[in-house]
Structure formats: C-alpha cells, structure tokens
Amino acid sequence: MTSQRIGYSRVSTTDQNIDGQADALERAGVDQIHIEKYTGTKASRPVWDEVRRILRKGDTLVITRLDRLGRSSRDLIEIAKWLDDNGIALQATEQPIDTSTPEGRMFYTILSAFAQFEREMIVARTVDGLAAARARGRTGGRKSSLSAAQVERIRKAHASGTTVSVLAEDYKVSRPTIYRALAETR
C-alpha cells in the first residue's frame, strides 16, 4: 500500500473563500483535498473526522497553515500526538512545518501556542467591542421584523382566538417570530 498526501483545508464561515487554500494544496501535489467550512475551535468537525479515518501510517497530512487545523494549543498538541502515534507526517505549505523532522515538530509546538494566543486575542477584542457598543446604547442582533404596534395587534388577535399559523401568514413572518412577539408582550 503506497502512502498518500491528504490535503485538508478549513474556513470558519461559509462566506470565506476557500480557493486560495485549495490552490496551494493542489500545488503541493496532494492526492486528495478535503474542504471544510466549520469553526476551528471545535475538536470534532465532520470533514476533519473523515480525514482522520482516511489517514494511514506513512501518509502525510498537508495543510496551508497551522491555524487551519485548529485554534487551541491543547487541540493542536493532541492532533500532533495522534498523527505521531499513527505514523502520519504533517506538512504546512505556508509555514516551515514538517513533523517528520525534529525541527518541524518544535516549530509546530511553537506555532500552536501562537494560534491559541491569536484566538484568545480575537475573543478579547470581540468582548471589548461588544461592551463598548452596549455602553453607547447599541445592542447587537437583527432588527425586529415587527413594529411595536404590530406586536400589540398580534397579541390582541391571538387573545381573541387567531392561531399563530394564521398570524404568521398574515404578517409574513415565521411562527417562531409570532411566538417571540407573544412572549414579549406578556
């Protein structure tokens, strides 16, 4: 059985473009490319779990950057241990990581710490930004699809026996929106 070069790429949201990663993996000469649109903060991800099932001893997992594989040091170290325990090498096309060498393993460990630091800084900036917005009276989230007057009419219609389904159809909103409007007015 010949060893394979399995490419894995990931973006966190569906509106991010995966083409750059896919192109880099093709240039790296991988045999298969597996693309995932899922947060890197979760240890279990559908496509990553499938890649783990495919990888065999002697194979090489090819990624573009370490942060595409995971965002926490703990997760990245566990992945490195799993790869090592199973005789699978890791290469990153944009970073000098090749876990088949001692230097590559060391660099992997250093970069995993930076990946976690970056993730923690993103979270801290987000929390700070939300707090600053709240202090200025702004709240996040989508604008209500119903005005206060519509909510009052919905409440009265529901109290007189109009069903949630009929109200949703009349106001061209979903049933959960009607339920939320009814809950707000009680």
C-beta separation of 70 from 43 below 8 A: yes
**What is the predicted pLDDT for the residue at 15?**
67
Could you tell me if 70 and 157 lie in one domain? no
As averages over each run of 10 residues, the pLDDT of the chain (186 residues) reads 89 78 92 84 80 95 87 79 91 83 80 79 89 85 86 92 92 91 74
pTM of model > 0.75: no
Could you tell me if 46 and 89 lie in one domain? yes
- Of the listed 3, 9, 12, 147, which one is catalytic? 12
Could you tell me if 102 and 169 lie in one domain? no
Is 126 within the bounds of a domain?
A: no
Could you tell me if 161 and 101 lie in one domain? no
Could you tell me if 107 and 153 lie in one domain? no
Is 61 within the bounds of a domain?
A: yes
**What is the predicted pLDDT for the residue at 87?**
93
Could you tell me if 12 and 87 lie in one domain? yes
Could you tell me if 109 and 152 lie in one domain? no
Could you tell me if 106 and 159 lie in one domain? no
**What is the predicted pLDDT for the residue at 1?**
65
Spatial separation of the C-alpha atoms in residues 135 and 137, rounded to whole Å: 5
Is 155 within the bounds of a domain?
A: yes
Is 156 within the bounds of a domain?
A: yes
Could you tell me if 155 and 98 lie in one domain? no
**What is the predicted pLDDT for the residue at 59?**
95
Is 127 within the bounds of a domain?
A: no
Is 135 within the bounds of a domain?
A: no
Count how many domains the chain has.
2
Annotated active-site residue 160? The verdict is no
**What is the predicted pLDDT for the residue at 95?**
81
Is 46 within the bounds of a domain?
A: yes
CB-based burial label for 159 (10 Å; 0-12, 13-18, 19+)? exposed
Q: How is the chain split among helix, strand and coil, in percent rounded to 5?
A: 55, 10, 35
Range of the domain at 164: 148-185
Could you tell me if 88 and 162 lie in one domain? no
CATH number of the domain that residue 20 is part of: 3.40.50.1390
From residue 48, alpha-carbon distances to 6, 24, 57, 71 in Å are: 11, 18, 17, 14
CB atoms within 10 A of CB 115: 22
Is 94 within the bounds of a domain?
A: yes
